[in-house]
Amino acid sequence: MDDCPENRYKLIRISSKTEVQNPCVTEASPEQACTLEYAPVCGCNKRTYGNSCAAAVSGVTTWTLGECD
C-alpha cells in the first residue's frame, strides 16, 4: 500500500460481505434439552439465560453467574 503524505487519507473500500466473527458465540445446538431450573447466567454476548445449559445450547461459549446488568 502506498504511503500518503501527512494530513492526507486514502479511501480503502471494504466489501459489504465482510463478516465480523464473534468468538463468544458459536452455532446453536437446539436439539439438546435443558432443565427449566432458574439459575441465571450472563452470556459473553450480554444476554441473560435461564441457566448455563440454556446459554450453551444457544451457542454461548462463556458466561458469568447471575443476570446481566
Q: What is the pLDDT of residue 1?
A: 46
Residue 15 lies in a domain: no
Residue 1 lies in a domain: no
Q: What is the pLDDT of residue 23?
A: 75
Residue 54 lies in a domain: yes
Can you give the CATH number for the domain in which 33 is found?
A: 3.30.60.30
Residue 20 lies in a domain: no
Residue 40 lies in a domain: yes
As for how many domains the chain has, the answer is 1
Regions of the chain short of the pLDDT cut 50: 1, 10, 18
Query: What range does the domain containing 36 cover?
Result: 25-69
Residue 6 lies in a domain: no
| Strand pairing category for 63-65 and 41-43 | antiparallel
